[in-house]
Amino acid sequence: MGVVGRVYWSAMERIMSRERIALRSLLLLTGMCVGSFPLPAAWGQESDNAFDQATADTKGSTSLPAVRPKTQEEIDAEVRAELEAYERRLREVADAYGPPDGGKQLSKQPDLWIDRENKRIYLDGYVALRRGQIEMLACPVGTKEHESIIAAFASSKEVHAALLALGTQSGTPVRFQPSFLPPTGQAIRIWIMWYDEKGDFQVVDAREWIQNVQTNQSMKPDWVFAGSGFWKDPESGTEHYMADSGDMICVSNFSTSMLDVPMESSAQEADLMFMPFTDRIPKSDTPVRLVLAPIPNPTDAAETEADRAFDVQPTAKALPASPIDGKDG
């Protein structure tokens, strides 16, 4: 987990630590009142300086340790401060790059663009995971970073709409019953761009970041635009786009995937097929930009240069190193 993730979880850990201290104090008082009270053995092995110091200061005394629990208002204020720091850190990462040449901004924040002339979608994110088995190449921020190489700053719904705006044809998500049917849809080539620690521009086919654990080779097939789906909340009647929960660009089959691989790829933990090519991926929290390029469906017509646009490697013009003026910080 990178710095961005640690900022969020530190708030949760602090609260749990305070609550544990308060609980210990209560049990200590109970033990004093009724005689011997066997505290859990593991507590004696924990390194909790605040509690250890408080109990040490009261040895031989029947008074309570001088530990005042935080009020709910104080806890809420600290959590808000931690989450605000998390949001600021996210925007710092998101604002690392300016808009791509020829791109029109689609999202409220400058994180998603469409280039109609070159038939490309640009999507900003950061490196969230470099080791371990994975189920996604990319997920929206705040969803499945624990099993996705990249966390993206736009929602799956927004990216879906951008692909439709390019005329990309969605298909059908995977089906498991009565028998397995792979996901379908127009194929999508994905590129990843970033600047390395020396400041040099880098670009790679996204499949080069994904290792097949059976062959130890890069993933072979391009993704397909499966299209996910919607579910309706029975109480509110509100419809929700299912891929917004995390299944943006998948390497394991999900019936909720927006983009999926057109092959059988289990989502069961023991049978996961892919893992990151760690040595090829920059350090955690590195800002990256994804380029989604629809691959034209095969036809009988003669192939033109425009039909091969998806295969043209992006250049540094699509990744200005300096942030634009006016970005929210």
Q: Mind listing the pLDDT tens digit for each residue in 259-306?
A: 999 999 988 877 889 999 999 999 999 999 999 999 998 876 667 766
Q: How many helices (H) and strands (E) does the chain have?
A: 4, 15
**pLDDT at 168 > cutoff 90:** yes
Taking a C-beta distance cutoff of 8 angstroms, is the pair 87, 79 a contact? Answer: no
**pLDDT at 48 > cutoff 80:** no
pLDDT top residue among 309 and 239: 239
Q: Burial-class residue 125 by CB neighbours within 10 Å (0-12, 13-18, 19+).
A: buried
Residues present in the chain in total: 329
Q: Burial-class residue 212 by CB neighbours within 10 Å (0-12, 13-18, 19+).
A: middle
Pairing relation of β-strands 148-152 and 136-140? parallel
Q: pLDDT tens digits for 73-101?
A: 988 999 899 888 888 888 888 889 999 99
* Residue showing tokens 């194929």: 187
Question: What single DSSP character describes residue 116?
Answer: T
**What does the alpha-carbon distance between residue 307 and residue 302 come to, in Å, rounded to a whole number?**
9
pLDDT top residue among 327 and 6: 6
Taking a C-beta distance cutoff of 8 angstroms, is the pair 223, 261 a contact? Answer: yes
> Long-range contacts: 301-308, Cβ < 8 Å, 24+?
306/119
| Residues in contact with 197: Cβ distance below 8 Å, sequence separation at least 6, in sequence order | 282, 283
pLDDT score of 248: 98
pTM: predicted TM-score of the whole model, two decimal places: 0.75
- Least confident span in 73-87, 101-115, 130-144: 73-87
pLDDT score of 64: 58
Mean pLDDT across 240-269: 94
Pairing relation of β-strands 136-140 and 187-195? unpaired
The token duo for 316 is: 């540094």
Beta bridge partners of 191: 205, 291
**What does the alpha-carbon distance between residue 290 and residue 206 come to, in Å, rounded to a whole number?**
8
**What does the alpha-carbon distance between residue 304 and residue 296 come to, in Å, rounded to a whole number?**
11
pLDDT score of 200: 95
pLDDT score of 23: 42
Q: pLDDT tens digits for 212-238?
A: 999 999 999 999 999 999 999 888 989
**pLDDT at 21 > cutoff 90:** no
Query: Amino acid identity of 236?
Result: S
pLDDT top residue among 76 and 123: 123
The token duo for 296 is: 């034209």
Query: Amino acid identity of 145?
Result: E
Give percent of the chain with pLDDT exceeding 90.
59
Going by pLDDT thresholds of 50, 70 and 90, the confidence category of residue 14 is low
Helices (H), the chain: 3-34, 49-56, 72-94, 156-165
Mean pLDDT across 17-34: 43
The token duo for 116 is: 């109609």
Mean pLDDT across 192-202: 96
**What does the alpha-carbon distance between residue 299 and residue 61 come to, in Å, rounded to a whole number?**
87
Mean pLDDT across 157-178: 96
* Residue showing tokens 């998390």: 86
- Least confident span in 14-18, 26-30, 121-125, 151-155: 26-30
Helix (H), strand (E) at residue 137: strand 136-140
CB atoms within 10 A of CB 232: 10
pLDDT score of 308: 80
Q: Burial-class residue 150 by CB neighbours within 10 Å (0-12, 13-18, 19+).
A: buried
pLDDT top residue among 7 and 246: 246
Mean pLDDT across 146-153: 97
